[in-house]
Each structure stands twice: as structure tokens, then as C-alpha cells.
């Protein structure tokens, strides 16, 4: 049972780590990514301790709306985002591999998913299949998105020193507010459910409050995708500029995020306008077309198909993991039927779990993999001559 519990809790996090890591044109070393993930797991212990202290301080607040709001913003939002922020700023930001803004999104998402994975395992082990379904579709993507938003602002702060203080503050404040807006309605609903009289009197308001959670979740996921796409396009423009410089026999241009560059901006190295050789003779047409085609990547239809493959692959894989979990739980605790006969034995449940769980899990991961491969294929490969990140 334990392995299947772990699968149901870990699959969503692993797919999201895979996604954010693949969005980086210059992927981060796996050793640093997993070190960040491990630190995200490790902060669960101090987070729980601080949350218990804060919960004890506000438990005497009787109003369920006020109590839920305080727990959502201060117990969950402030505490969890503070420790995740510490991982991103104290470890990731100072690491030599953090050498471009996109790295902030990757490391922020990975740190948050490390925390979310262990938290998810704890919740699933206590709440079973229902908790696994809810958290796989909501809490895990929520943590990943907040981490990506946090990492975006931290990455901007590192390469925009004049605005560092403001950007660093936003890197903590915005995820904390998003976390609170997501958790407060859920915690309030839980408080109301404990008091049946209050629940009936405030049912309409509680429903409206829960709508805030859904809007927050959709909004932060969309924002994280937009931010990662923006930085990826910035990477691709510089990537194409390096191709243009390589074919022109010139030094590589500095990246647009390098605060210390003094030469012409990278945008002047448009791949469609290759510098000519001395004497007015341009490069052969096939050499000019090669980097242009790589820079353009796939068309809009191909990109949409890639995103659809990612979405459905992730959902199918998550469904498979949850179905496998459900079959194992059912096999472990068979119930008698109405006639008094015992329900189908563990073997039958395991067979059903294999068909409805493991098969969709494998197919979903495969579809997700091919979706990522299609997106990565739209990125031009590096020039034959390796250039350092900051140029020469």
C-alpha cells in the first residue's frame, strides 16, 4: 500500500518539476535541482513547528471567517512562503548555476514542489483517496505556481540591482497573498462545517468565499505559465542572436538580463538580418536559413497540440496514480456485500488497479513526455561553438 500512496502523492509533483525544467532553454544541473527539492522537503519540519505556534495563538478567535482568514494568511501563507523564500534566496539565488532570470522560476517551482510533495504524502496517508484527488488537482499546482511567481521576482531582482529591494519584497509578498487567498476560504469552510448553525446561516457567503479559492488557483496557474513563457521567449531571442553572431564570425552578444553589459542590446542581432562578410558578400543562403528556421520553431497549431498533450498527459497520469491508489486501498480493506458474502478479493482489486491505474499512468506519462519533446524541439540548438552564458 505504501508504494501506491507515494505514487499518488508524488506523480503530480514530478510532472510539474519536469515541465518547469523543460521550459528552460539552458536547463539547470540535476544535482542543483534535486538539492533544491530536498531543501523544500526539509523545511516542512520548521514550517509545522511555526504553524502550530501561530495556530495556538489564534485558536481562541471564535468567528469562523476571521479565524479562517488568519490561519490562511498568517499560519499557512506567511509561514510556508517565508521558508520557501529562504530556500530560493539563501541557497538558489547565491548558487553559481543561478545565472539567468529563468532559473528563478525553475528553482522557485522546485523548492515549492519539494515542500508540497512531503506535505501531500502526509495528507494522503491520513485522508486517503479523497485527499489525494483534491490535492493532486489543486494544492500541488497551487504550490508550484506560487513558487514560480516567487522565483520570477527573485530572478528579476538578481539581474536588476537598481530595483532589487522592491522586487525581492514582491517575491515574498505576492506569493504570500496568493497563498492566503487560496487557503483562507477553504479553512473558513472547514470552520463553518464544525458549527451546523453557522453553516446554514452563512451558506451563501461561504460558497462565494470558496469561489475565491478557485479564481485564485486558476489565476496563479495562468500567471505562472505566462511568466515562464515570457522568459523563455527572451532566452530564445538571445539564443537566435548567438546563432547570428556565430555565423557572422563575431563575438556572442551579451544576454539582455546581464546588468553589466555595455555593448549593443541583443535585440539588434535579429536572426533575419545577418551581418555580411567584408567585401559585401553575404553568407550562403542555406546558412542564413538554417538558424532562422530553428529560431522560428513550430507553428501555432503545433504549439497548441504540444500544450494539449501536456495537459491531457498530466491529467491521465494523475488519474492513473489515483486509481492505482484506490484499488490498493480497496484490496487492503474488503467489505461484505448486502447478502453477507465477502466482496471481491484483493486479487480482483489489484487487477482492476493494474488496468485502470498503472496503464493510464504509463500512457499519461508517455503523452506528457512527447508533449515536452515537441515544445523543446521548437527551441533552436546551441551554436556549434560553445559560448559562455555572459558572452566573451
Q: Say what the alpha-carbon torsion angle 33, 34, 38, 43 is, to the nearest 10 degrees.
A: 10
**Per-residue pLDDT at 149 exceeds 70:** yes
The string of DSSP letters for 3-69 reads: HHHHHHHHHHHHHHHHHHHHH-SSPPPHHHHHHHHHHHHHTHHHHHHHHHHHHHHHTT---HHHHHH
Q: What mean pLDDT, rounded, does the chain reach?
A: 77
Q: What is the mean pLDDT of residues 205-222?
A: 86
Are residues 152 and 101 in contact, defined by beta-carbon separation less than 8 angstroms? yes
Q: How far is CA 294 from CA 46, 228, 306, in A?
A: 47, 20, 17
Whole-model pTM: value is 0.79
Q: What is the pLDDT of residue 84?
A: 97
**What number of other Cβ atoms are within 10 A of residue 60's Cβ?**
7
Per the model's pLDDT, the better-predicted residue between 177 and 388 turns out to be: 177
Are residues 361 and 321 in contact, defined by beta-carbon separation less than 8 angstroms? yes
**Most confident by average pLDDT, 214-218, 268-272, 307-311:** 214-218
Per the model's pLDDT, the better-predicted residue between 24 and 121 turns out to be: 24
Residue 104 CA to residue 83 CA, distance in Å, equals 16
Residue range 350-377, pLDDT digits in tens: 676 667 777 888 888 899 888 888 877 7
Q: What is the pLDDT of residue 217?
A: 94
Taking alpha carbons only, the member of 114, 124, 147 closest to residue 45 is 114
Q: What is the pLDDT of residue 181?
A: 94
Burial of 300 (0-12, 13-18, 19+ CB in 10 A): exposed
The percent of residues above 70 in pLDDT, for the chain, comes to 68
Residue range 277-307, pLDDT digits in tens: 333 333 333 333 334 434 444 445 557 888 8
Q: How far is CA 148 from CA 107, 152, 327, 355, in A?
A: 8, 6, 34, 35
Per the model's pLDDT, the better-predicted residue between 262 and 85 turns out to be: 85
The percent of residues above 90 in pLDDT, for the chain, comes to 34
Q: What is the mean pLDDT of residues 80-92?
A: 97
Residue range 90-111, pLDDT digits in tens: 999 999 999 899 999 999 999 9
Q: What is the pLDDT of residue 380?
A: 54
Q: What is the mean pLDDT of residues 158-164?
A: 90
Q: How many helices (H) and strands (E) does the chain have?
A: 14, 0
Q: What is the pLDDT of residue 374?
A: 82
Q: What is the pLDDT of residue 115?
A: 94
Residue with cell 544576454: 255
Query: Which residues lie below 8 Å from residue 161, measured CB to CB, with a gap of 6+?
Result: 259
Are residues 220 and 176 in contact, defined by beta-carbon separation less than 8 angstroms? no
Q: What is the pLDDT of residue 298?
A: 44
Using pLDDT thresholds of 50, 70 and 90, give the confidence band for residue 314: confident
Q: What is the mean pLDDT of residues 157-185?
A: 94
E strand or H helix at 109? helix 101-134
**What number of other Cβ atoms are within 10 A of residue 18's Cβ?**
16
**Per-residue pLDDT at 156 exceeds 90:** yes
Q: What is the mean pLDDT of residues 122-151?
A: 79
Using pLDDT thresholds of 50, 70 and 90, give the confidence band for residue 119: confident
Backbone angles phi, psi at 342, to 5 degrees: -75, 145
Which of these ranges, 35-44, 68-77, 234-243, has the smallest mean pLDDT? 234-243
Amino acid at each position: 500500500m505504501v508504494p501506491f500512496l507515494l505514487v499518488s502523492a508524488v506523480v503530480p509533483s514530478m510532472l510539474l518539476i519536469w515541465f518547469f525544467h523543460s521550459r528552460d532553454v539552458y536547463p539547470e544541473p540535476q544535482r542543483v535541482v534535486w538539492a533544491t527539492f530536498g531543501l523544500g522537503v526539509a523545511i516542512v519540519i520548521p514550517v509545522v513547528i511555526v504553524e502550530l505556534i501561530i495556530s495556538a495563538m489564534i485558536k481562541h478567535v471564535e468567528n469562523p471567517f476571521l479565524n479562517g482568514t488568519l490561519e490562511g494568511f498568517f499560519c499557512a501563507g506567511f509561514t510556508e512562503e517565508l521558508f520557501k523564500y529562504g530556500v530560493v534566496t539563501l541557497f538558489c539565488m547565491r548558487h553559481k548555476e543561478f545565472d539567468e532570470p529563468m532559473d528563478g522560476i525553475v528553482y522557485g517551482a522546485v523548492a515549492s514542489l519539494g515542500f508540497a510533495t512531503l506535505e501531500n504524502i502526509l495528507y494522503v496517508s491520513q485522508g486517503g483517496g479523497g485527499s489525494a484527488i483534491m490535492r493532486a488537482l489543486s494544492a500541488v499546482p497551487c504550490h508550484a505556481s506560487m513558487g514560480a511567481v516567487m522565483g520570477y521576482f527573485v530572478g528579476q531582482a538578481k539581474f536588476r540591482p537598481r530595483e532589487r529591494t522592491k522586487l525581492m519584497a514582491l517575491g515574498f509578498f505576492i506569493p504570500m497573498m496568493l497563498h492566503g487567498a487560496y487557503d483562507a476560504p477553504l479553512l473558513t469552510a472547514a470552520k463553518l462545517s464544525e458549527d451546523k448553525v453557522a453553516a446554514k446561516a452563512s451558506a451563501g457567503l461561504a460558497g462565494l468565499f470558496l469561489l475565491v479559492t478557485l479564481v485564485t488557483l486558476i489565476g496563479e496557474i495562468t500567471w505562472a505559465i505566462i511568466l515562464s513563457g515570457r522568459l523563455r521567449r527572451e532566452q530564445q531571442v538571445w539564443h537566435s542572436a548567438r546563432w547570428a553572431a556565430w555565423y557572422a564570425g563575431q563575438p556572442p552578444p551579451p544576454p539582455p538580463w546581464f546588468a553589466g553589459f555595455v555593448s549593443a542590446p541583443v535585440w539588434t542581432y535579429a536572426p533575419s538580418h545577418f551581418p555580411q562578410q567584408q567585401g559585401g558578400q553575404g553568407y550562403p543562403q542555406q546558412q542564413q536559413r538554417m538558424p532562422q528556421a530553428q529560431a522560428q520553431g513550430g507553428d501555432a497549431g503545433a504549439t497548441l497540440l504540444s500544450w494539449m498533450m501536456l495537459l491531457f498527459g498530466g491529467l491521465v497520469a494523475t488519474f492513473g496514480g489515483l486509481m492505482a491508489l484506490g484499488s490498493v486501498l480497496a484490496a487492503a480493506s474488503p467489505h461484505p456485500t448486502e447478502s453477507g458474502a465477502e466482496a471481491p478479493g484483493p486479487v480482483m482489486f489489484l487487477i482492476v488497479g493494474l488496468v485502470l491505474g498503472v496503464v493510464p499512468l504509463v500512457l499519461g506519462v508517455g503523452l506528457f513526455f512527447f508533449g515536452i519533446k515537441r515544445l523543446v524541439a521548437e527551441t533552436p540548438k546551441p551554436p556549434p561553438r560553445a559560448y559562455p552564458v555572459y558572452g566573451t
